[in-house]
Structure 1
Amino acid sequence: MANYIQEVRALVGHKPMILNASAGVIANDQHEVLLNLRTDTHNWSLPGGYLEYGETFADAMVREYKEDAGLDVKIIDSLGIFDQGFTEYPNGDLTQTISQLYLLQPVGGHTLEQATDETLDLKYWSLDNLPPLLNQQSADMLAAVKRYFDQQD
């Protein structure tokens, strides 16, 4: 059931919804993380997105990373579930997003070289010098990534 969110939004309008999403982390050798500049809010977030009806968190992660970043990925580890993702989108939609965060390894594809309907730009960022983020949940997930890398060193 593609476009599940659009179908539900057509019924409920801008009322607050609880939605499930997957987000993923790819890091380079300096532990900089790949973020995407979003077309809807014009700020940065981890590539990822909402589950379609019947999809698992893992399936959504693989699909969304391809859509948002152009990369085929393999899941290496689960970095946790984050349930305090409150966002008001420019069109007035309100969401509380429950996100599963994964550490990923690229296994194919090519990083997008031009803007798409969801991604304006992709860039690696230092976890100590992040750009303006989508919401507090994005900040919380990136803090968890930093803790994960600190424990690995």
Structure 2
Amino acid sequence: MTQDYISYIRSKVGHDKIILNFAGGILANEEGEILLQLRGDKKTWAIPGGAVELGESTLDAAKREFFEETGIKVEVNRFLNVYSNFEEVYPNGDKVQTIVMIYEFRAVEDFDISNFHNEETLKVAFFSKEEIAELDSVSDKHRLILAEYFNNSFAMGH
């Protein structure tokens, strides 16, 4: 398949609501702050991650997307949870129910995020639990994921 999976599916169903599988990861620094990306499409702060492509594992997708959106190569510490009860509408009108696998990552080498940006990511920065609570542009899904991470308590059935 020469086009990505989402483009392929959208060519069949248009903007109708579909279920899509996503994977992402949480990276904390030595101070316990969490790395978030300012998304290019929605202009919101989010956990780095993205869609799983055909033939790709969720872990491989999470590591690939994390690198694409932050420039940081990572490896997994542990699997955290699955989040499947959230719906969203993208700026282009696409409707989805997301199934998201979240991992905890560690960086495999030193990195510098001070000037990182691309089409998907306007900016990346580390935030404390208190700073995240004050951000206006974090989705309910990402707030729940981050709250569970900071509490180290992961509920089933989201």
Question: For residue 115 of structure 1, what is the aligned residue in structure 2?
Answer: 117
Is contact 1:20–1:51 with CA below 8 Å preserved after alignment? yes
Q: For structure 2, list consecutive stretches of 5 or more residues without a partner in the other structure.
A: 154-158
SS at match of 1:71: coil
TM-score scaled to structure 1, two decimals?
0.90
Aligned mates of 2:38, 2:5 — CA distance in 1: 23
Is contact 1:23–1:47 with CA below 8 Å preserved after alignment? yes
Aligned mates of 1:142, 1:133 — CA distance in 2: 14
1:111, distance to aligned residue in structure 2 (A): 4.3
Aligned mates of 2:49, 2:83 — CA distance in 1: 13
Question: For residue 144 of structure 2, what is the aligned residue in structure 1?
Answer: 140
Aligned mates of 2:23, 2:151 — CA distance in 1: 19
1:19, distance to aligned residue in structure 2 (A): 0.6
Aligned mates of 2:137, 2:30 — CA distance in 1: 22
SS at match of 1:129: helix
1:133, distance to aligned residue in structure 2 (A): 3.9
1:134, distance to aligned residue in structure 2 (A): 4.7
Matched to 2:30, the amino acid is: D
TM-score scaled to structure 2, two decimals?
0.88
Is contact 1:72–1:109 with CA below 8 Å preserved after alignment? no
Question: For residue 128 of structure 2, what is the aligned residue in structure 1?
Answer: 126
- Change over 3 Å in CA distance of 1:74–1:13 after alignment to 2: same
Is contact 1:74–1:107 with CA below 8 Å preserved after alignment? yes
Q: For structure 1, list consecutive stretches of 5 or more residues without a partner in the other structure.
A: none
Say which is worse superposed, 78-87 or 63-72, in terms of deviation. 78-87
1:109, distance to aligned residue in structure 2 (A): 6.8
Matched to 1:115, the amino acid is: H
Aligned mates of 2:86, 2:38 — CA distance in 1: 18
Aligned mates of 1:92, 1:35 — CA distance in 2: 24
Alignment of 1:18-37 (within 5 A): 18-37=19-38
Percent of residue pairs bearing the same amino acid type: 34
CA offsets per residue over residues 77-129 of structure 1, 9 Å max, x none? 11111112311111111111111111100003744524211000001111222
Matched to 1:10, the amino acid is: S
CA offsets per residue over residues 7-27 of structure 1, 9 Å max, x none? 111111110011111110011
